[in-house]
Amino acid sequence: LQLAAGPTRGYVRTRQAIDAAMLLPFEGALDVERDYQRELGRSADYREGVSAFIEKRAARFTGQ
C-alpha cells in the first residue's frame, strides 16, 4: 500500500534502469539513466516531491 502511494513512474524507471545496467555496457547504462532522470525531473511527481520536502509535509503523488 505504501509503494502504491509513491512516485510510481519513478519506480518503473528505476527498475528499467537497473535492468539496462545489467544488459548494456557502462556508457549505455549511463545514457539510459541520464535520459530517465531528464524525463522524471520534468514530471509533476518530481515537483510535488520537492515541494513536499521543502514544506515538510507528506507528498501526494499522482503518477504524472
Domain regions of the chain by residue span: 3-55
**What burial letters (b/e) apply to 25-46, b meaning 16+ CB within 10 Å?**
eeeebeebbeebeeebeebebb
pLDDT at residue 1 greater than cutoff 70: no
| Section 24-47 average pLDDT | 95
Q: What is the pLDDT of residue 63?
A: 86
| Average pLDDT of the residues of the chain | 93
Q: Which CATH class is domain 3-55?
A: mainly alpha
pLDDT for residue 5: 81
| Pairwise CA distance, residues 49 & 25, whole Å | 31
pLDDT above 70 (res 30): yes
